[in-house]
Amino acid sequence: MKKNRLKRQIDFIVELDKLKHIFRQTPLINGNRYENDAEHSWHVALMTLLLSEYADAKDTNLPCVVRMLLIHDLVEIDAGDTFVYDEEKNRDKSTRENVAAQRIFSILPTDQAREFRSLWEEFEKRESKEAKFAASMDSLEPLLYNYNTKGSSWKEHRIKSSQVLERNRHIGEASSVLWEYVKNLIADSVAKGYLTE
């Protein structure tokens, strides 16, 4: 029994290596290549440790948020990264990701598969205070990248400030401080020509 459990856990660990080969639409700040999903997951988890004091709900379960962020993009091993502003690809994103979740999490022993799937679903629903804060970290990171690369992916995809504001409005549900910061960052991006109005 334990031998089979360990094998399934190791198989899952090996499968996770594929996340390093899923590239996002966000270039690294130095501009030499695009960020991969594994880097993104690590970065947003660490951001959570640094910025958790700004969560409006002071009783937010920080370890739960970090766990969500470490697994939230695992489905992209199969489903790929869907650019947040790509309306066409976002139409079937949920279906693709649910199929991926079924396959990927089923590699794990049953109890861990249920736990990981449950955390992933909680993140996707964005109803709990933990999921809301996790989603705010997930959205803040590419904003910081875009700002620090002079709007590189915004410009590449002709994204407008109204789209960025609408897409990131949910940050205010988790942190009024971070939402104010984001609104100022977007306004400054417009002023500097990183974003059009």
Domains in the chain, start-ordered, CATH in brackets?
Answer: 2-191 (1.10.3210.10)
How many Cβ atoms sit within 10 Å of the Cβ of residue 168? 22
Q: Which two tokens stand for residue 28?
A: 């690294």
Give the length of the chain. 197
Instruction: Please state the pTM of the whole predicted model.
Output: 0.95
What are the start-end ranges of the H helices in 52-128?
62-71, 76-79, 87-91, 93-105, 110-125
pLDDT tens digit at each of 197 positions of the chain: 688 999 999 999 999 999 999 999 999 999 899 999 999 999 999 999 999 999 999 999 999 999 999 999 999 999 999 999 989 999 999 999 999 999 999 999 999 999 999 999 999 999 999 999 999 999 999 999 999 999 999 999 999 999 999 999 999 999 999 999 999 999 999 999 999 98
C-alpha to C-alpha distance for 63 and 57, rounded to whole angstroms: 14
| 28: DSSP letter | P
Estimate the crossing angle of helix 110-125 against helix 129-148, to 10 degrees: 70
C-alpha to C-alpha distance for 33 and 38, rounded to whole angstroms: 14
